[in-house]
Chain A
Amino acid sequence: MSYLIETRDITKRFGGLVAVNKVNFGVSPGEVVALLGDNGAGKSTLIKMISGVYPNDGGDILYNGEVVKIHTPIDALAAGIETIYQDLALAENLNVYSNIFLGREKTKKRLGIFHVLDHSYMYDEAVGILKKLDIKIPSLRNNVRTLSGGQRQAVAISRSIYWNAKVLIMDEPTAALGVAQQKQVLDLVNSLKDHGLAIILISHQMHDVFEVADRICVMRRGELVGNLVKKDTTTEEVVSLIVGSEAVS
């Protein structure tokens, strides 16, 4: 099987603490892999290395089978690795389309020298991508502050898709949402899978994981302790891996 994104023996230390210890992990196109583990198990650190927030201290990151250097978020974005954080995804004081274009704003020239923001282009493009993903937002000129949690997730996801995400990392996408909104987000994940994206899903909600994931990876104390195909496993097995097998017996 060929992974789109893969880590080999990747390691991260914070002082004396080994947050992630020689983890081998990967996701294929069109696959949803759930990454599970207790608080402090190293999930977030692993994800932050893949998305360029933390540089790795050891091991390699492979993209399409080749070793790549991902040291900054820009490196990750350039490779098509997009991350959706549970509550850090958007600037609440900016409107919807500005958030979709944040960091990659479209400008136009005025008087031949000044580069000014091209609001109408960004607005139109944002309308297009939301329509394509069948997402409904009251007005794209409203600040994100005025949107519901589910709408914010949808905006963050559509931003990634607009920028040609190949790998989508989702950190607790349904944690802060109501039931109806959770379902919308999970449906969106399923449709993104059909578009051929490689999706990494961090979640504590076993129900979500079993609904959308193809494979389940479990981390404990910085190490990968389980790599299971969903249809061959059970909630009990996954939970016992998360908390450590000694707790189950």
Chain B
Amino acid sequence: MQSLMTQKNKDLLLKIGKQWAVIFFVAEIIFFGLTAKGFFTVNVFQIVLFFGTAVMLMAVAELFVIITGGIDLSVGYVMGLSTIIATKLIVYFSASGMPEFWGIFFGIIITLVLGLIPGLINGLLVSRLNVPPFIATFSMLGISHGVSELLLTEGAAKNLPHLANVIGNGHFLYFVKGGGFSFFARPEVARGVKVFELFPNVVVITLIIVAIFAFVLSKTVFGIHTYAIGGNEDSAIRSGINVKNHITKIYMLSSLLASSAGVIYMLKYVTGKADAGASLLLDSIAAVVIGGACLTGGKGTVWRTILGAVIIAVLETGLRILGIPTFDKYIMVGVILILAVLIDRIFPETTYKE
């Protein structure tokens, strides 16, 4: 029996253990492919990504913070606040006679700029005043929620111009059999003629944002400093990295991404809601941990985090097709999160031993 657990076998097991998320993903796809009717279609694939946009953006936000060894609990309600601010601004702009496109454009820009503020406050509290990230961002969760409700006392955030719906629920490419392609605009066709819709706009926008942040984390000085701070904050300080500024930027980046998730929600559902992102906090942290990051910091990549987010999105869509209620998804995500942490314990990082 002893010979079975040779060093080689251990190494192999370790390698497999580190790839468990990929294995889980494949198993998940096979499971839903067998049980959920019509799961293997381009359409379902697009729906998964469509519903996954918010959790992808929020998970990337959370990833940057978690790599530095912190946590951002405010992302969900910052996202909610952003849906309301964006909706109200755009409604206000179009009511005051601005063309629909420019109203949406400026509404989004202002929302994103305002979206930096919660992060700035979180970042300053954490880096300058040594408030634990848990407390700073938990307080910001409450504040964002409160401000959202305050904004809603004057009326619900809705009645966005039609163009918002066209952007949020439109596709990059339309394709009619025998009728050719058209970009952005759905072609006029006779009743009964099938129009293939490819690349939902919000998915394309989300993937571009994700790709930018993947680039920043893996290829730039900003990225490697983020890892360095998470690995050893003292050594980062002593290497001359301005750790306080860097951490402030990380929390700003996090709330900017949460805010952009809010903008995308606003475009998709043409409305603003205070609790739009409330349930996404669990999902985003779970996605990061499933993606192999460690809550003590220093580890994790954007693409693995996206794998984590897609695992959750597939679960959500798959359960929906099977007709299983949403709260079962929360239970499953919770269980997977715990398993992810336990698996991380079982397969530790290889460390030098004297």
Contact = CB atoms under 8 A, between A and B. Distances in A.
Interface stretch (A90-98, A192-200, A211-219, A240-248): A90-98
A91 to B, nearest CB: 4
A73 B239 CA distance: 7
Contacts of B230: 93
Interface residues of B, number: 27
Contacts, number: 88
Interface in A118-172: 143, 145-149
Given A91-B235, A94-B227, A94-B231, A146 B220 contact: no
Nearest to A53: B238
Interface of A: 51, 53, 72-74, 77, 83, 85, 88-94, 98, 102-105, 107, 114-117, 143, 145-149, 178
A90 B235 contact: yes
B220 A103 contact: no
Interface in B218-257: 219-221, 223-225, 227-228, 230-232, 234-241
A85 B220 CA distance: 27
Contacts of B188: none
Contacts of A73: 237-240
Nearest to A51: B238
Name the 10 nearest CB pairs between A and B, nearest first.
Answer: A103-B239, A93-B231, A91-B231, A93-B298, A103-B240, A102-B239, A74-B240, A88-B234, A116-B219, A91-B232
Contacts of B327: none
A85 B233 CA distance: 13
Contact of B238 (A85, A107, A117): A85
B235 A93 contact: no
Contacts of A146: 350-352
Interface majority SS on A: helix, strand, loop or mixed?
loop
Nearest to B218: A117
B349 interface: yes
B352 A148 contact: yes
Contact of A148 (B221, B225, B298, B354): B354
A148 to B, nearest CB: 5
Given A51-B238, A105-B221, 4 more contacts: A72-B240, A92-B231, A93-B298, A104-B240
B299 interface: yes
A116 B225 CA distance: 13
A160 B232 CA distance: 18
Interface string B182-216: 00000000000000000000000000000000010
